[in-house]
C-alpha cells in the first residue's frame, strides 16, 4: 500500500468514525424557550421542590416556580454595586436544603471586615444573610475563597467546600468546618479548580477532581465523607487538561465519565481485593467547538442518557450505544454555564451569558 493510499484510507476512516459517532438530532429535545434573566450571566442553577434558583454573580440570587410560565423572577438579594464589582465576584453557586439557602459568594465585605466571604446562608429566603465561615477562615491569609460546595445526597448535614487546595468538611450543615492538612499533597500543589462527585452506591465515598496550579489534572477519592484522601496518577492521555466534571455510570459503578478542556473520556476502575489499583481511561469524543466540559448531568428516570455541555454545544451521550447527539443552543445563549434536568416535568434547563432557557425532553 502506497503512502498516499494509506493517508487516504486513514482520512476516510476518520470521517466515517466521526459520522457514525455524532448524530445531529434535534428531535431528542423540543424548541428552546427563554424563561428570563437575559441581561445577566447565570453561573449556577439549583432545582428544589419545584423552584429553580439561579446564581447570577454580581447581580445576586434569583428564584422562580417551574410552573410560572412568565419571564419574571424573584430577587433574593446579594447584588453587588457597580463600583465594587470585579471579575468572578458575587454569587457563584447556590444550594438549597430544608428551606435554607446556602451560597458560594465572592465579593467585597458585606457582613464584617473579611476581604472575601466564602459561604453565606439565609433561613428566610433572602431577607437576611449570615456568614458560614467558622473554620474556613483559618485556611489561608484570612480569606475563604470557596471553590465549590457539595452536599452529601445521603447525609445532607455533610457539606464539602474546597478552599485554596484543601477540602473543608462540615458535619453540621455548614456551621463548623474542618480540614486535613495532608489533603494538600496533590501532585502540582494547590488547585485552580476542584469539584466533587458522590458515589451513587457507597454513602461515605466521594471523589474529587480538577486542575492543579501546574495545569495538571487530578482525581482523588475519600471513603470517610471527605476527611482523608488518596489520589491517583492520571495517564498521559489527559496531560495538560484539567478535569472539570465527573459522573458515575448509573448501571456500572466501576465506570465513570470525565469532561476535560478538550474531550470526554470513559474511566474504568480496576479493583484488586476491594482496593483501587488504577484507573484506565479511553477517549470517547473530542470537543466540536470552544469551551470546557464543565457539566455532565443524567436523566435518572431514563438511565444511560448523559447531557454534557461545552461552550455553545450540548451533547447527549448514550452510555449503551456510545452514540453522541450534538444539540445546538439558541444564538442568544452565548455560552453555557450550567444544566439542570427536571425529571418530574421532562425539562432541560440551560443557563449562560444570555439568560436561562428550557426545552422539553422527548422520550
**Is 263 inside any structural domain?**
yes
Residue 290, number of CB atoms within 10 A of its CB: 10
CA gap 270, 29 in Å, rounded: 36
**Is 6 inside any structural domain?**
no
Which pLDDT score is estimated for 316? 94
In this prediction the pTM is 0.87
205 alpha-carbon distance from chain centroid: 18
Give mean pLDDT in consecutive 10-residue pieces for the chain, a chain of 363 residues.
40 40 66 88 94 94 95 93 74 94 78 62 93 65 61 96 82 90 57 84 93 81 91 76 91 93 91 74 86 89 88 91 88 89 95 92 82
Instruction: For residue 133, give its domain range.
Output: 40-360
Closest to 247 measured CA to CA, from 285, 204, 195, 284: 195
Phi/psi-derived region of residue 360, left when phi > 0, alpha when psi is between -120 and 50, beta in every other case = beta
Number of domains forming the structure of the chain = 1
**Is 18 inside any structural domain?**
no
Query: If you compute the radius of gyration of the chain from its CA atoms, what whole number of angstroms results?
Result: 21
Which pLDDT score is estimated for 235? 75
**Is 354 inside any structural domain?**
yes
Which pLDDT score is estimated for 301? 76
Which pLDDT score is estimated for 275? 66
Strands (DSSP E) contained in 171-248 are 178-179, 191-198, 206-212, 217-222, 230-232, 243-248
Which pLDDT score is estimated for 304? 83
For 242, phi and psi rounded to 5 degrees?
A: -70, 155
Which pLDDT score is estimated for 201? 92
DSSP category for residue 362 = P
Beta bridge partners of 122: 101
Query: Grid cell 445521603 — which residue?
Result: 154
**Is 163 inside any structural domain?**
yes
Query: Grid cell 430577587 — which residue?
Result: 75
Which pLDDT score is estimated for 190? 56
Which pLDDT score is estimated for 179? 85
**Is 267 inside any structural domain?**
yes
Residue 115 belongs to a domain with what CATH number?
Answer: 2.130.10.10
Q: Give the pairing type, strands 305-310 and 313-318.
A: antiparallel
Which pLDDT score is estimated for 216? 80
Which pLDDT score is estimated for 331? 85
Which pLDDT score is estimated for 189? 53
Longest dimension (CA), the chain: 74
Beta bridge partners of 36: none
DSSP category for residue 180 = -
**Is 1 inside any structural domain?**
no
125: CB partners within 8 A, 6+ apart: 63, 76, 99, 101
**Is 51 inside any structural domain?**
yes
Amino acid at each position: 500500500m502506497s503512502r498516499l493510499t494509506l493517508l487516504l484510507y486513514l482520512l476516510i476512516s476518520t470521517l466515517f468514525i466521526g459520522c457514525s459517532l455524532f448524530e445531529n438530532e434535534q428531535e431528542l429535545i423540543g424548541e428552546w424557550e427563554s424563561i428570563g434573566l437575559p441581561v445577566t450571566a447565570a453561573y449556577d442553577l439549583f432545582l428544589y421542590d419545584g423552584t429553580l434558583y439561579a446564581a447570577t454573580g454580581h447581580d445576586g440570587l434569583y428564584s422562580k416556580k417551574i410552573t410560572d410560565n412568565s419571564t419574571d423572577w424573584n430577587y433574593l438579594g446579594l447584588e453587588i454595586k457597580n463600583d465594587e464589582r470585579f471579575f468572578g465576584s458575587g454569587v457563584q453557586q447556590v444550594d438549597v436544603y430544608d428551606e435554607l439557602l446556602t451560597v458560594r459568594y465572592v465579593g467585597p465585605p458585606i457582613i464584617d471586615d473579611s476581604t472575601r466571604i466564602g459561604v453565606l446562608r439565609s433561613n428566610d429566603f433572602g431577607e437576611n444573610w449570615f456568614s458560614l465561615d467558622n473554620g474556613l477562615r483559618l485556611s489561608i491569609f484570612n480569606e475563604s475563597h470557596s471553590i465549590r460546595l457539595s452536599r452529601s445526597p445521603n447525609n445532607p448535614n455533610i457539606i464539602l467546600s474546597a478552599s485554596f487546595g484543601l477540602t473543608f468538611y462540615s458535619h453540621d450543615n455548614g456551621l463548623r468546618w474542618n480540614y486535613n492538612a495532608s489533603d494538600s499533597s496533590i501532585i502540582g500543589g494547590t488547585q485552580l479548580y476542584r469539584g466533587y462527585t458522590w458515589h451513587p452506591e457507597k454513602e461515605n465515598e466521594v471523589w474529587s477532581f480538577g486542575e492543579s496550579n501546574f495545569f495538571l489534572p487530578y482525581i482523588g477519592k475519600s471513603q470517610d465523607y471527605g476527611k482523608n484522601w488518596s489520589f491517583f496518577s492520571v495517564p498521559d492521555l489527559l496531560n495538560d487538561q484539567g478535569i472539570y466534571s465527573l459522573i458515575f455510570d448509573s448501571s456500572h459503578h466501576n465506570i465513570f465519565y470525565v469532561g476535560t478542556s478538550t474531550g470526554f473520556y470513559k474511566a474504568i476502575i480496576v479493583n484488586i481485593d476491594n482496593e483501587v489499583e488504577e484507573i484506565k481511561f479511553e477517549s470517547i469524543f473530542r470537543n466540536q467547538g470552544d469551551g470546557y466540559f464543565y457539566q455532565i448531568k443524567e436523566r435518572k428516570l431514563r438511565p444511560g442518557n448523559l447531557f454534557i455541555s461545552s461552550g455553545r454545544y450540548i451533547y447527549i451521550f448514550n452510555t449503551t450505544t456510545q452514540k453522541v447527539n450534538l444539540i445546538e443552543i439558541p444564538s442568544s445563549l452565548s455560552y453555557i454555564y450550567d444544566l439542570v434536568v427536571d425529571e418530574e416535568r421532562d425539562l432541560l434547563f440551560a443557563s449562560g451569558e444570555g439568560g436561562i432557557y428550557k426545552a422539553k425532553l422527548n422520550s
